Amino acid sequence: EKGTYPHFMLKEIDEQPLVLRKIIQKYRSEKGELEIDQEIVKAVNESDRIYIIAAGTSYHAGLVGKQFIEKLAAVPVEVHIASEFGYNMPLLSAKPLFIFISQSGETADSRAVLVQIKELGHKALTITNVPGSTLSREADFTLLLHAGPEIAVASTKAYTAQLAVLSILAEVVARSKGKEIGFDLSRELGIAANAMEILCDSKEEFEKMAHEYVSTTRNAFFIGRGVDYYVCLEGSLKLKEISYIQAEGFAGGELKHGTIALIEDGTPIIALATQESVNLSIRGNVKEVVARGANPCIISMKGLEMADDRFVIPEVHELLTPLISVIPMQLFAYYAALHRNCDVDKPRNLAKSVTVE
């Protein structure tokens, strides 16, 4: 039920801090350590490469998950769009492990890959919000998102839950190998939950921002580098699917290789700057588009902020910024759709789970 909320999407955005806290609790042992089924940890440790298969928002979560697993657990990861993988299968490593990320657990494109790789005799783990879903039943292992039902067609809390579960998987695998990751993940996830709350309490700011940047625009671009780029892909998907504004996410450095030709007077550019290592270079990209007339909206993180930033998110661990920086994107899309009188929870041409290939 929506309760006092006008839309499920807004309710689900607001539930994110609670969901994150629930995940920390669900994946914590009595000793207070993060914990994952030993069989899953063993399967990861026995594999030489992980193949993440997903679609849409879950694919975007996979791109960030790759960073967690490679940086913390030092296992190589490839991320594939489910609908492409089937007929364009890459050369597999000797001991692959497949991870299917799917909110619904019913996406036909992902299921087709699962059937294919099971026939080849490979192991599969499904990360899903729906216990008993097809992808969960047919895989060897399941990790649950514990996000509660997601009703709005546009995925929000499932995405942040997917990131949280992937980070926990990465940490537990790292610890099983005796690797020091150098920070306390459950503590950092707790800090991230508090930061999410602050962002959810800043709705008026994002409403103003949406009004200012995209109330009449035909298109919008999102730019970032590193994980910020992946969040830009998700931010642009959110905006296009519910507001029908043509939106694209780009890697900051790729702009000059073609996309910059699209910049006109007033084109909104939403730039994410949450990573110290690329803070200056992404700002360089913003300068390039501003020189061509773009209307920039820089969202940065505390500690990295500069004079013209439109919004500064609270500081969280640098690996975990996507859990936080996606919230301004979700709210921006929500208010943009609202301003344009779009059906926020049930956008045209879309269904909640896509059960055809």
Q: Interface residues with ligand F6R (CB under 6 A)?
A: 55-58, 102-104, 107, 110, 154-155, 237, 241, 353-354
Give the count of beta carbons closer than 10 Å to the beta carbon of residue 5: 13
How far is residue 25's CA from residue 30's CA, in Å, rounded to a whole number?
10
Residue nearest to ligand F6R (CB): 56
- Give least dist CB 151 to ligand F6R, A: 11
- Give least dist CB 279 to ligand F6R, A: 28
- Of the pair 237, 273, the CB lying nearest ligand F6R is at 237
- Of the pair 13, 237, the CB lying nearest ligand F6R is at 237
- Of the pair 259, 353, the CB lying nearest ligand F6R is at 353
- Give least dist CB 161 to ligand F6R, A: 11
How far is residue 266's CA from residue 281's CA, in Å, rounded to a whole number?
22
Q: List alpha helices for the chain, DSSP H.
A: 8-14, 16-26, 38-46, 56-68, 82-85, 108-119, 134-138, 157-176, 185-200, 203-214, 227-243, 279-290, 321-339
- Give least dist CB 157 to ligand F6R, A: 11
How far is residue 36's CA from residue 63's CA, in Å, rounded to a whole number?
21
Distances (CA, A) of 185 to 171, 227, 317, 333: 7, 18, 9, 29
- Of the pair 41, 50, the CB lying nearest ligand F6R is at 50
How far is residue 62's CA from residue 339's CA, in Å, rounded to a whole number?
31
- Of the pair 19, 41, the CB lying nearest ligand F6R is at 19
* Residue 83 identity (one-letter amino acid): S
Estimate to the nearest angstrom the gap between the alpha carbon of 103 and the chain centroid. 12
- Of the pair 67, 128, the CB lying nearest ligand F6R is at 128
- Give least dist CB 352 to ligand F6R, A: 7
- Give least dist CB 52 to ligand F6R, A: 12
